[in-house]
Amino acid sequence: MSFIVLFALFVYVFSTVTITNLHKVYLLFHFSMMLWPFCMFAIKLAENPKYQLFFVKLAFVDTALLTSGWLLFTIFLTGQAQFLRKKISFVLFIPVLVIALGVIANPNGKFVLPVNGGYVERTYGPIFLIMIMILVAYVGFSLYIIYMTLASNSTPRIKKQVANVLKGVLVLTALVLLDIFLNVVLSYFLPVIPGLTSLGILLSASLFIIAIHRDKIFDLVTIAHRDIIDTIEHGILVLDDNETIVEINYSLLPHCDLHRGDRFDMATFLPKNKPASKLDFFLHTYLEEPLERIEIELFHPRFNGYINIHAAPILVSGIVVGRIIVIQDVTKLKSLMDETTLQNEVLQEHN
């Protein structure tokens, strides 16, 4: 039953939203959640112990991948792009791969052993305990990232989104730990109580779906792509309402050392050798009046020419959720205008 409901939610998300990178991460995460209840059902359905063992291993390999997928989803959601650098990613995800290999190998029954000749009821070995400790560490690290976001200067909208997703992971973690306590620690004293982990997965997935659609967690980049990025060749920056870069196009990369997840500071980006009054008016409007569209034209050393900077808000239901900054190279246009002005002056002198 849990598998059917999770599959229905998967189809719902896939069919009702525009797929962005963050959606792709969530859909992979959701798909891995679907495998656990499917495997639990298949274990009871299969009569051959070999097939039962296969589904037991698949379920726990999926659990390891689910935990790492949750961590990846958390990193994407909170914008903590520094954790996705190659060296850090290697350290983060290697333990899960090692545990998955240990589960698959099951050397001398160190992970799981059958009870009464089958794996419907089973006992777990030291690899299972090591796996649980590693997965708890992953969940703890995910919660730490969420805590960093909630304790930071992020806007209330971002904090609300993260808080809603936090409810999902707490529900899932609580029911998984309860499942382990009742069905592993107290297995000699209590009968098996099935479905606790599946229930936790189902409830957490439901909370994630509610958060996605009620708070529009994934809409920001979609709106920007639809309006500008896919139709314009100028430099594009998409910022969230905490001035964090969520999208940058290739036109800007040769001129700016900016990456997704970095915090964008307009005051630092602007050159310092321009008339203060002109820059002060632009910065004041940019910082204090986020609903206003504003632009400025100036010479920028990084571009070795004149650029036009246009900043506009991204609105969802009348609420500012970010900005689109368009940077256009107007050096040639300004050169043509200057040349035309010079020719007009020469003609006036001749006249």
Q: What is the pLDDT of residues 303-314, one digit of tens each?
A: 788 888 899 998
Task: Name the band, by pLDDT with cuts 50, 70 and 90, for residue 272.
Answer: confident
Residue 69: Cβ-neighbour burial (10 angstroms; 0-12, 13-18, 19+): buried
CA distance 159 to 36: 30
What value does the mean pLDDT take over residues 15-37? 67
Say what the pLDDT of residue 312 is: 92
- Choose among 18, 33, 79: nearest CA to 219: 18
Give me the helix-helix angle, 156-180 and 196-214, nearest 10°.
Answer: 170
CA distance 126 to 121: 17
Pairwise pLDDT comparison (93 vs 2), residue with the higher score: 93
Say what the pLDDT of residue 223 is: 57
Hey, what CATH class is 2-217 in? mainly alpha
Q: In the predicted model, is pLDDT for residue 241 greater than 70?
A: yes
Residue 254: Cβ-neighbour burial (10 angstroms; 0-12, 13-18, 19+): exposed
Pairwise pLDDT comparison (210 vs 166), residue with the higher score: 166
Choice among 23-37, 165-179, 221-235 with the minimum mean pLDDT: 221-235
Q: The dihedral of CA 275, 281, 286, 287: what is its sign?
A: positive
Task: Name the band, by pLDDT with cuts 50, 70 and 90, for residue 118.
Answer: confident
Choice among 67-81, 195-209, 223-237, 264-278 with the minimum mean pLDDT: 223-237
CA distance 297 to 328: 9
CATH 1.20.1070 domain locations along the chain: 2-217
Reduced to 3 states (helix: H, G, I; strand: E, B; else coil), residue 292 is: coil
Say what the pLDDT of residue 170 is: 83
Buried b (16+ CB within 10 A) or exposed e, 71-86: bbbbbbbbbbbebeee
243's tokens? 């001035």
Say what the pLDDT of residue 145 is: 83
CATH 3.30.450.20 domain locations along the chain: 221-339
Say what the pLDDT of residue 348 is: 81
- Choose among 90, 93, 98: nearest CA to 68: 93
Q: In the predicted model, is pLDDT for residue 18 greater than 60?
A: no
Q: In the predicted model, is pLDDT for residue 44 greater than 70?
A: yes
What does pTM read for this prediction? Answer: 0.55
H runs (alpha helix) in 152-259: 156-180, 196-214, 219-224
Q: In the predicted model, is pLDDT for residue 17 greater than 60?
A: no
Contact 245, 259 (CB under 8 A): yes
Choice among 65-74, 75-84, 162-171 with the minimum mean pLDDT: 75-84
Contact 54, 35 (CB under 8 A): no
Q: In the predicted model, is pLDDT for residue 317 greater than 60?
A: yes
What value does the mean pLDDT take over residues 76-92? 68
Average pLDDT, the chain: 77
Say what the pLDDT of residue 91 is: 74
Hey, what CATH class is 221-339 in? alpha beta
Q: Tell me which long-range contacts 119-122 makes (C-beta under 8 A, separation of at least 24).
A: 119/43, 119/49, 119/52, 119/53, 119/55, 119/56, 120/43, 120/44, 120/52, 121/192, 122/56
What value does the mean pLDDT take over residues 72-85? 69
What value does the mean pLDDT take over residues 53-63? 88
Reduced to 3 states (helix: H, G, I; strand: E, B; else coil), residue 284 is: helix
What value does the mean pLDDT take over residues 264-277? 78
Q: In the predicted model, is pLDDT for residue 323 greater than 80?
A: yes
